[in-house]
Structure 1
Amino acid sequence: MSVLVATDVSVAVDDGREILAAASIEVCSGQVHALVGPNGAGKSTLFGVLAGDLAPARGSVMLDDAPLRDIRPRDLARLRAVLLQSNTVSFPFTVEQVVRMGRAPWARTPAEDDDDRVVAAAMAETDVAGFATRTFPSLSGGERARVALARVLAQATGVLMLDEPTAALDLKHQEDVLRIVRTRAAAGAAVAIVLHDLNVALAYADRVTLLSHGRVVAAGAPAEVLTAARIEEVYGQPVDVFPHPGTGVPIVVPRR
C-alpha cells in the first residue's frame, strides 16, 4: 500500500532554476525505498519535499491519502519521523533525554504510558544504552548518529525517513542500522532512505529511485534500476555489476 506519494513535484531556487523537476515517487508500507544518485542529483531536495520541510512549486505530496500540506505539525509528527544528516544538540542533554525527545508528539495521549518501554527499546536497538547518562555533546560523531536514530525510532511512527543514516558509522554499526531499517519495514513501516552506497541499496532496498540533475532517471527494483550501463550514464564512472558469489545479490565494482 502506498503511504507517501509525491506526484510531479518541482522545486526552484531564487533565480527560478529548478533543482527538482517533475519528480514522482511512491513509498509503500512494508518496503525500504532508497533514493540514490550523484552529488547534486536532487536526493535531499526530494527527501525534504517528502518530509514536508520543503514546499514544492508544483505537484502534490500525499500522506495516507491526505495532502501533506494540510496535516498539522503535531499530527504529522505522529505519522512520520525524520532523521537528517546533521544532528546538533547544543545543550548538555543526556543521551536518554535526547532519545526521550522522540516521544514528545505522544505527550498527553494514551501512548505516553509506553514512553519508558519505547525509549529503552530504542536505545538497546541502536546500541547506545551503555552511555545513556553521558551528555550528547561529549559523544563521537558515530555515537551521535546512533542516538539520533534512537530518537527517531522512539517516535514510533508508521513512516521512517532517513537521510544518509550510515554516513558517520563504522562497518558494524552501518550494518546494524541497515538491519534495523529492514526489521522496521518487515513490521509494516514505510521507509524512505537516502543512500550514497549503491551496494547498500542493492542489498537492503526493496525499491530504488535514481535521480540525476534534479530528475528521476529510473525507479523500480534495485537490480533493474542499478545496471552497469545506467550507473555509468548517471555517475560518469564505468562499473561492473555482477552477482555476489555467496548471496547472488548484485554488487557494483568501479573499473580501475
Structure 2
Amino acid sequence: MSRLVASGVSVAVDDGRLILADASIEVRAGEVHALVGPNGAGKSTLFGVLAGDLTPASGTVTLDGAPLGGIHPRELARRRAVLLQSNTVSFPFTVEQVVRMGRAPWARTPAEDQDDAAVRDAMAETDVAGFAARTFPSLSGGERARVALARVLAQATPVLMLDEPTAALDLKHQEDVLRIVRARALAGAAVAIVLHDLNVTLAYADRVTLLSRGRVVAAGAPGEVLTAARIEEVYGQPVDVFPHPGTGVPVVVPRR
C-alpha cells in the first residue's frame, strides 16, 4: 500500500531555476525506499517535499491519499516522523528529555500512556540508554545522531523519514541503525531514507529512486536500478557490480 506519494513535483529557486523537475515517488508500507544520487542530485530537496517542509512549484504530494498540505501539523506529526541531517539542540536538555520530545504529538491522547515505554524502548534500540542523564550538547556527533534517531523512533508513526541517518556514525552503529530501519519496515512502516552508500542501499533497501541533476533517472528494485552502466553514467565513476560471494547481494566496487 502506498502511504506517501509525490507526482510530477518540481521545486524552483528564487531565480526560477528548477532544482527538482517533474519528480515522482511512491513510499509504500512495509518497504525501505532509498533516495540516492550524487551531491546536488536533488535527494534532500525531494525529501523536503515529501516531509512537507518544501512546497513544490508544481505537482502533488499525498499522505494516505490526502493532500499533504491540508493535514494539520499535529495530525501530520502523528502520521510521519522526520529525521533531518542537522540535529541541533541549543539548551542543555538531557538525552532522555530530547527523546521524550518525540512523544509531544501524543500529548492528551490515549497514546500518552505509552510514553515511558516508547522512550525506554527507543533509547535501548539506539544504544543511548547508558547516557540518558547526560546533556545533549555534551555528546559527540555520532551520539547526537543516535539520540535524534531515538526521538524519531519514540514518535511511533507509520511513516518514517530519515535524511542520511548514518552519516556521523561508526561502522557498528551504522549497521545497527540500518537493522532498526529494516525491522520497522518489516513491522509495516513505510520508510523513506536518503543514503549515499550504494552498498548499504543494495543491502537494505526494497526500492530505490536514483536522482541526478534534479531529475529521477530510475526507480525500482535496487539491483535493477544500480547497474554498473547507470552508476557510471550518473556518478561519473566507472565501477564493477557483482554478487557478494557469501550473501549474493550485489556489491559496488570502484575501478581504481
- Give TM-score scaled by structure 1 length: 1.00
One-letter identity of the residue aligned with 1:142 = G
Identity over aligned residues, as a percent?
A: 88
Q: Counterparts of 1:95-110 in structure 2 under 5 Å?
A: 95-110=95-110
Q: Counterparts of 1:5-154 in structure 2 under 5 Å?
A: 5-154=5-154
Q: What SS is found at the alignment partner of 2:26? A: strand
**Deviation (angstroms), 1:87:** 0.1
One-letter identity of the residue aligned with 2:200 = V
**Deviation (angstroms), 1:245:** 0.3
Q: State the Cα deviation string for residues 129-163 of structure 1 (Å, max 9, x = none).
A: 00000000000000000000000000000000000
Q: State the Cα deviation string for residues 29-52 of structure 1 (Å, max 9, x = none).
A: 000000000000000000000000
**Deviation (angstroms), 1:211:** 0.1
**Aligned equivalents of 2:113, 2:233: Cα separation in 1:** 52
One-letter identity of the residue aligned with 1:184 = R
Q: State the Cα deviation string for residues 72-98 of structure 1 (Å, max 9, x = none).
A: 100000000000000000100000000
Q: State the Cα deviation string for residues 150-187 of structure 1 (Å, max 9, x = none).
A: 00000000000000000000000000000000000000
Give the superposed CA RMSD.
0.2
Match of 1:186 in 2: 186
What residue ranges of structure 2 are gaps of 5+ in the alignment?
none
**Deviation (angstroms), 1:57:** 0.3
Match of 1:246 in 2: 246
**Aligned equivalents of 1:204, 1:5: Cα separation in 2:** 21
**Aligned equivalents of 1:126, 1:178: Cα separation in 2:** 11
Q: State the Cα deviation string for residues 166-218 of structure 1 (Å, max 9, x = none).
A: 00000000000000000000000000000000000000000000000000000
Q: What SS is found at the alignment partner of 2:103? A: helix
Are 1:198 and 2:166 counterparts? no
**Number of residues paired by the alignment?**
256
Q: What SS is found at the alignment partner of 2:173? A: helix
- Give TM-score scaled by structure 2 length: 1.00
